[in-house]
Amino acid sequence: MTTSYLPYEPRQQQLLPSALQDWLPEGHLAYFISDTIDALDLSAFHTRYAEGGPRNQPFHPTMMVKVLVYGYATGAFSSRKIARKLHEDVAFRVLGANNFPKHRTICDFRALHLEEFSALFVQVVKLARECGLAKLGTIAVDGTQIKANASRHKAMSYERMQKTEAELKAQIEALLAKANAVDEAEKNEPELDIPAEIERREQRLEVIRAAKERLQERQRQADAARGRSADDERKPRDPDGNPRKGPLYKREFGIPKPKAQENFTDPESRIMKRPGGGFDYCYNAHAAVDDTAHIIVAAELTNNGADSTRLPHLLEAVRDTAGEHPNQVLADAGFRSEAVFEALVDHPTELVVALGREGKKPLAIDPNRRPRTAAMAEKLRTEQAKLAYRRRKWISEPPNGWVKNVLGFRQFSMRGLRKAQAEWRLVCAALNLRRMATMIPA
């Protein structure tokens, strides 16, 4: 007896056109993102196209925003990957409504609307507040290093820059001498495009000079922050400029360490230590997370690997994004600083900041030199502060894990601090929407 199967006709055409809305099950994330973005104000995305002009018709900004946000919410960050999924993935085709922008169009749209995507993050946070998913009772802050779009092989140390600069100068001088030589022996040598060789080396020399100047300017700023000046003769001085006891500084004012590095592909990225060991060019991404539903209420980025000065910036970012200050903020020991505690002494937000690793011997704190830190140490001995701080890991660390291990976002696609900042907010907005889709009943 022949087995009976359900009908299977790969070449069967549909008699009536299908509705895109029937292609996905009810409650799919793509529908939630589509409906949510339709409810947001996207007028800023339309402004760029308001004047019209002779160019070709652009793709609809609402469609482009939906496709990009859904891509980031599902781990598709590359414009090439998104363009491919618009053909292959049902959810992308539903959101794209059978529009198929090329990868360059998607990449350009994202780059042209950096400020608009940052503002979109703010709108998503406000919507989460209206839905009761972010109440700003207690927030926790944390930072994580994310790789920059920069190659470790296209970087050079200050010491190597000096050597290469001298080598290039010598090569240029030799080529110029050869170009001016008209002796008979030159006729027997292989033909060499000397002007092109000189131009190539001069371009390389200019790139290295610019990198050296950036390193020197960064070092001048760091030295000035330490109280040094260009005429200090490498001698330590007090705030009044008078010499004080102590060894001489190892380098002149504004001279970087020999091993200080600069990257040529993304000069604004910085070498940072990876949690698992080793070093990479990274940015330091910070997120302030509300304790109600793990909604990220502030997303900031810096190229400084240290967290010790970032707490005031994060609290201001929370106020700017959500409209008010939180009642309490929890932070690990990386955010501790006497200067920060002093700056936030009258802040409406209660600070609970660790001063060392859990389970380790407490730090010896001189109350005369660091009175605010000593006061925080005293506060952390109370049972109320201990109970509050125990919640920090549960609040702040899951979103970083979701970004890296659920979304798979481990490296920025865009270069430069400003662009990476906008991309980080786009990632956090996508994660918030994904979180809201599971928390808001259909």
The CB-side HSE value for 252 (13 A sphere, CA atoms) comes to 4
pLDDT averaged per 10 residues in sequence order, the chain, 442 residues? 72 71 85 92 87 70 94 93 94 91 93 92 93 90 90 70 70 68 54 66 72 73 74 74 76 74 80 80 92 93 90 93 92 90 91 79 77 89 90 91 92 92 95 90 62
**What is the SS3 assignment for 237?**
strand
Which residue's entry shows tokens 């980031």? 72
Residues 285-296 as b or e (16 or more Cβ within 10 Å = b): bbbbbbbbbbbb
Q: What is the pLDDT of residues 379-436, one digit of tens each?
A: 988 999 899 999 998 999 999 999 999 999 999 999 999 999 999 999 999 999 999 9
Check the CA dihedral 394-399-400-406 and report its sign: positive
Contact indicator for 417, 268 with CB cutoff of 8 Å: yes
Question: How high is the pLDDT of residue 240?
Answer: 67
DSSP 257: P
Closest CA to 99 of 81, 87, 117: 87
DSSP one-letter code for 107: H
Residue that the structure tokens 């190659």 belong to: 151
Which amino acid appears at position 263 of this protein?
Answer: N
Q: Please report, as a single letter, which amino acid is at residue 327.
A: N
Contact status, residue 270 vs residue 305, Cβ threshold 8 Å: yes
Strands 279-290 and 270-273: antiparallel
Contact 396, 289 (CB under 8 A): yes
Nearest alpha-carbon partner for 326 in 121, 135, 132, 141: 135
Distance CA 117, CA 307 (A): 25
- Joined tokens for residue 260: 């200080």
- What percent of the chain clears pLDDT 90, i.e. is strictly above it? 44
The alpha carbon dihedral of 382, 387, 393, 396 has a sign of negative
Average pLDDT, the chain: 83
